[in-house]
């Protein structure tokens, strides 16, 4: 089927009390691993592409790869811009063939974040494309965006509810204590924020920084209203570790397929585990 927006799959996730995974796509092997695992688990899936990954792969290649995967598949697949930083980049990917965008205006003052998000929602919805907004500042490092602990700011529940009503986004990322990248120590999620916001809005909340959060914490967050969980770093680590192990055993390997193939299989198993943890298996 063609690429789809996140709207339907996330509505179902909210009412069914499970979450759909956003797995970041960094190259062909990531795409194949994510889609194969999702197909085998009969799960809807969101392919997240950061601005950095977009620069690395190129817009045309990214869309062509994702479209090919979707056209050859029976599960719903969304191609989603992760942490879009401007109105212009959002428009560029929408017109380039993405089926969903995130506008991360969390570094702007509230009113400005609302204004830009609203403008993107108007255009995107007219074209059947979904939009994720962000409120509060998520800590950690992703691509070129780095937020240290001091500057990470939890979302204010009242402001988050107001933000949803003013923008009409399809999914809302709120800072609840998770961070991009791996954690030193155990992350402390603020479940009370998730609960307070989720019961007042119709759309699911998004948990960024899904790598390294203990399974029980993820499950609890989903039970309280998280309907989309983003994962990138764990897949990057398992890919790199697999390749390192292959080279540690044999320095003479030179055919990339001999290390990228096993790395792809390793990513696939991480994705499969997350899909089962999020409860989206069997929900395509």
Cite the active site residues.
82
Q: Which of 14, 80, 180, 272 binds ligand 13P (CB under 6 A)?
A: 180
Residues 132-152: b if buried by 16+ CB within 10 A, e if exposed: bbbbbbbbbebbebebeeeeb
Cα–Cα distances (Å) from 43 to 65, 83, 97, 139, 155, in that order, read: 19, 23, 22, 29, 30
Cβ proximity to ligand 13P, 32 vs 211, nearer residue: 211
Smallest distance from ligand 13P to CB 84, Å = 11
**Number of neighbouring beta carbons within 10 Å of residue 247:** 11
Q: Is 283 in the site for ligand 13P (CB under 6 A)?
A: no
Residues with Cβ within 8 Å of residue 204, at least 6 apart in sequence: 10, 13, 14, 19, 171, 172, 198, 225, 226, 227, 228
Smallest distance from ligand 13P to CB 277, Å = 13
Q: Which of 96, 97, 181, 262 binds ligand 13P (CB under 6 A)?
A: 181
Q: Is 6 in the site for ligand 13P (CB under 6 A)?
A: no
Applying the rule CB under 6 A, the residues between 102 and 161 that interact with ligand 13P are 142
Which conformational region is residue 33 in: left (phi greater than 0), alpha (psi within -120 to 50 degrees), or beta?
alpha
Applying the rule CB under 6 A, the residues between 34 and 63 that interact with ligand 13P are 48
Q: Is 232 in the site for ligand 13P (CB under 6 A)?
A: yes
- Burial label for 178, CB within 10 Å (0-12, 13-18, 19+), is buried
Q: Which range touches ligand 13P (CB under 6 A), out of 231-239, 250-258, 262-270, 276-284?
A: 231-239
Q: Give the separation between CA 157 and CA 135, rounded to whole angstroms.
A: 10
Cβ proximity to ligand 13P, 167 vs 230, nearer residue: 230
Q: Which of 233, 277, 278, 283 binds ligand 13P (CB under 6 A)?
A: 233
Q: Which of 211, 225, 227, 228 binds ligand 13P (CB under 6 A)?
A: 211
Residues lying near ligand 13P in the complex (CB under 6 A) are found at 24, 48, 82-83, 142, 180-181, 208-211, 230-234
């Amino acid at each position: 089927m063609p690429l789809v927006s996140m709207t339907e799959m996330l509505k179902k996730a909210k009412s069914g009390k499970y979450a759909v995974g956003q797995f970041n796509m960094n190259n062909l092997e990531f795409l194949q691993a994510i889609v194969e695992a999702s197909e085998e688990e009969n799960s809807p899936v969101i392919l997240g592409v950061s601005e950095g990954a977009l620069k690395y792969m190129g817009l045309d290649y990214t869309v062509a790869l994702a479209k090919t995967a979707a056209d050859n598949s029976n599960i719903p697949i969304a191609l989603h811009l992760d942490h879009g930083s401007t109105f212009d980049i959002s428009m560029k990917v929408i017109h380039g063939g993405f089926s969903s965008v995130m506008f991360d205006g969390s570094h702007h003052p509230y009113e400005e974040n609302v204004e830009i998000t609203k403008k993107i929602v108007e255009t995107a919805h007219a074209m059947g494309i979904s939009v994720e907004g962000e409120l509060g500042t998520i800590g950690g490092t992703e691509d070129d965006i780095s937020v240290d602990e001091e500057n990470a700011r939890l979302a204010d529940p009242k402001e988050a509810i107001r933000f949803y009503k003013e923008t009409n986004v399809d999914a809302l990322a709120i800072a609840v204590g998770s961070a991009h990248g791996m954690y030193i120590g155990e992350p402390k999620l603020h479940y009370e924020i998730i609960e307070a916001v989720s019961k007042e809005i119709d759309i699911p909340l998004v948990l960024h920084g899904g790598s390294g959060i203990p399974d029980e914490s993820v499950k609890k967050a989903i039970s309280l209203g998280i309907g989309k969980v983003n994962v990138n770093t764990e897949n990057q680590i398992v890919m790199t570790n697999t390749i390192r192990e292959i080279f540690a055993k044999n320095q003479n390997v030179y055919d990339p397929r001999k290390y990228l193939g096993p790395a792809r299989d390793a990513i696939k198993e991480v994705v499969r585990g997350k899909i089962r943890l999020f409860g989206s298996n069997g929900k395509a």
